[in-house]
Amino acid sequence: MVGDARAASLKWLGLAGPTASGKTALALALARRWPVEIVSVDSALVYRGMDIGTAKPSAAEQAAAPHHLLDIISPAQSYSAAQFVADARRLVAEIRARGRWPLLVGGTMMYFKALVDGIDEMPAADPGIRAAIDAEATAAGWPAMHARLALVDPATAARLAPNDSQRIQRALEVFRAGGTPLSELHRRALRDAPARDGVLVALEPASRAWLHERIARRFDAMLAGGFLDEVRRLRADPALNLDLPAMRCVGYRQAWEALDASDPPALAHLRERGVAATRQLAKRQVTWLRGMADRQGVEADAADVEERLVALVQTLIGAPGTAPD
């Protein structure tokens, strides 16, 4: 637990966890007890028109507490960790000025890490380099591109799956654009990191089976709720394609590819592929979480998880109803 001196210096509280671990419901449970505003830490929720497949908080949930960083850009645009840090820092100051607690909630661990550890200036996206990498991947496959990344940036390659196309592409792009490995840029950022002024509470399931069941149920609910129609609407936008970060989000990529396929079985296998991809995402999120220092863990699958979370938060920021100094 953090000490009294550390607790007194806290400016924000983070609630992180893998997909389908119950973050939204638990964040709203905290909002019923403390004066909070919720800042989304999710690289998919920033996109307008991507609601069902991202499990975006419903209108009722958003009305229960102020939410930020939802629906802020078009799926045709990109949003970086550096942009998130700038937006989050601004929102933390604004929310505290209103006498409320900033509650940062989400599963994009790269964003949390950038906020906590700092982030170095990355080379700007280079469409030419990215296109060349995509062409190489089309010819050789992403596992081969992963092997090429390992030659120039073994530290980054070691933490990425061989088929993690988006992150492999970005790491290769960073190296080819500036000649410095992404891992080195992260090391510099850690060296120059700002003073820690927040605390991260991590929802970590003890049972993998529990999380897998929730992921499957949520994907079924998405399909029943019109997810394929949502993807069809996105596909009808000429500005969108599978190379965009938005369309690489888990679920969207699999649905787009299934709709592209000429054989009906592709749609029949969508649930299987979507659930498998989401499980892989959750595994990566848990790995990221476990590598983050000073996190305060809560078992997401505990029967009394809400009570445990409330008790922990009380030790961090004071009794329910307490506002920041």
Residue 6 has pLDDT above 60, yes or no: no
Question: Rounded mean pLDDT of 192-203?
Answer: 79
Q: Return the pLDDT at 74.
A: 97
Tokens (6 digits) for 128 = 């030419």
Q: Note the pLDDT of residue 97.
A: 96
Chain segment 173-196, per-residue pLDDT in tens: 999 998 999 988 877 766 655 557
Contacts of 119 by beta carbon, 8 Å cutoff, 6+ apart: 81, 82, 85, 189
pLDDT tens digits for 221-265? 999 999 999 999 999 999 999 989 999 999 999 999 999 886 666
Using 50, 70 and 90 to split pLDDT, how confident is the model at 318?
A: very high
pLDDT at 130 over 50: yes
**pLDDT for residue 107:** 96
Residue 303 gets which letter from DSSP?
T
The neighbouring-strand residues paired with 68 are 39
Please give the single-letter amino acid code of residue 140.
A
Strands of the 101-106 sheet, one edge to the other: 67-68, 36-40, 101-106, 12-16, 198-203, 296-298
CA distance 4 to 6: 5
User: Mean pLDDT, the chain, as a whole number?
Assistant: 91
* pLDDT for 171 beyond 50: yes
**How many residues can be counted in the chain?**
325
| CB distance 306 to 26 below 8 Å | yes
pLDDT by residue (tens digit) across 84-93?
A: 999 999 999 9
SS3 label, residue 300: coil
Mean pLDDT of 198-227: 96
Q: CA-to-CA distance for 112 and 305, rounded, in angstroms?
A: 22
202, 221, 227: which is closest to 291 by C-alpha?
A: 202
pLDDT of residue 208 exceeding 50, the answer is yes
Confidence of residue 2 (pLDDT cuts 50, 70, 90): very low
Asked whether 39 and 317 are in contact (CB, 8 A), the reply is no
For position 5, what pLDDT does the model report? 40
Q: What is d(CA 146, CA 191) in angstroms, rounded to the nearest whole number?
A: 27
Predicted local distance difference test score (pLDDT) of residue 4? 44
Short-list 251, 237, 289, 323, CA closest to 106: 289
pLDDT-derived band at 132 (thresholds 50, 70, 90) equals very high
Q: At 14, is the secondary structure helix, strand, or coil?
A: strand
